[in-house]
Amino acid sequence: MSSGPPDGSSAPKLPGAPSRRRRRPKPPPTAYNRSSGSMIELPVGHAAQVFPVGSSTGFIGEAFSMDSLEFMRWAAVRYDDDRFVLVVLLTLMGSQKPGGLIEATHEDIAAALGYSRPHISRVFKALEADGALRKLHRGLYQLNPAASLRGGLKEPRKDEKKGSKAGTGNRVEQLDLLREIMEDPDAPDAFRAMAAPGAKLEVRKESDGEGKARS
């Protein structure tokens, strides 16, 4: 005899046990994943092309710069006899703001590295003589954009008010910076030479007989 309902309909199904399938947890913000972004509304009759852009979230500290490989090879040989120059150079490259700007005095760099100011001043003179660095005014320097450049949006400088036209909303463009340097009559000759199109860095190729390069 059937145990179903008297009207012949099928028996109602009991709710099943809850599924044991677990949802995959969302990765933390620091994981190597691409953000899905957000929805935006476009004006009628307009279209947009969306593509992934380079992300800096994979770098330690999330900040990074673009550096010339040829410049790094050249610097390794150029300052082989005075490697403290490399110590200061790396410090400057790691301290730059968008546009290659460095807001620091000789005293600031000396305190950060634990050396006296004369040691830092000597290195700054060497880097300026080679065209890798130039002084804009006291406490403000710029690395040559052809050698090392941090991109992004220009940040307001210490002597600028926040929200001023010169400090916000300006995206760093390497070619624009290089063009400005070439057209700047106050730019040092060595700095302009390194920023020139097709600039070549001379590398010492001779040896002292013991495998060490010399000029």
Q: Name the phi and psi angles at 179, rounded to 5.
A: -65, -40
Residue 117 lies in a domain: yes
Q: In this structure, is residue 9 part of a structural domain?
A: no
Evaluate whether 179 touches 129 at the Cβ level (below 8 Å). Answer: no
When pLDDT is cut at 50, 70 and 90, the band that residue 52 belongs to is low
Any domain includes 83: yes
- Mean pLDDT for the chain? 80
Q: Confirm whether 32 is domain-assigned.
A: no
**193 located within any domain:** yes
Three-state SS string over 95-135 comes to HCECCCEEECCHHHHHHHHCCCHHHHHHHHHHHHHHCCEEE
Residue 211 lies in a domain: no
Least confident of 112-126, 167-181, 184-198: 167-181
Q: Edge-to-edge, what's the strand order for the sheet holding 133-137?
A: 101-103, 140-143, 133-137
Q: What are phi and psi of 33, to 5 degrees?
A: -135, 160
Query: Which range, of 22-31, 54-63, 79-88, 93-102, averages the lowest pLDDT?
Result: 22-31
Q: What's the domain range around 177?
A: 60-204
Q: CATH number of the domain at 102, please.
A: 1.10.10.10
Q: Average pLDDT in the 128-135 region?
A: 97
- Read off the pLDDT of each residue in 189-215 and give the average, rounded to a whole number: 74
Q: What is the mean pLDDT of residues 30-36?
A: 50
Is 144 in contact with 195 (CB distance < 8 Å)? yes
Q: Are 34 and 52 in contact (CB under 8 A)?
A: yes
Query: Residue 73: inside a domain, yes or no?
Result: yes
- Whether 10 maps to a domain, the answer reads no
What does the alpha-carbon distance between residue 150 and residue 119 come to, in Å, rounded to a whole number?
26
User: Residue 107 above 70 pLDDT?
Assistant: yes
Which of 7-21, 63-77, 147-161: highest mean pLDDT?
A: 63-77
> Backbone phi, then psi, for 135, in 5-degree steps?
-95, 125
What SS3 class is residue 21?
A: coil
- Of residues 197 and 63, the one with the higher pLDDT is 197
Report the b/e string of 153-186 with b at 16+ CB within 10 A: ebbebeeeeeeeeebeeeebeeeebbeebeeeee
In total, how many domains does the chain have?
1
* Predicted local distance difference test score (pLDDT) of residue 41: 78
Residue 157 banded pLDDT, cuts 50, 70, 90: low
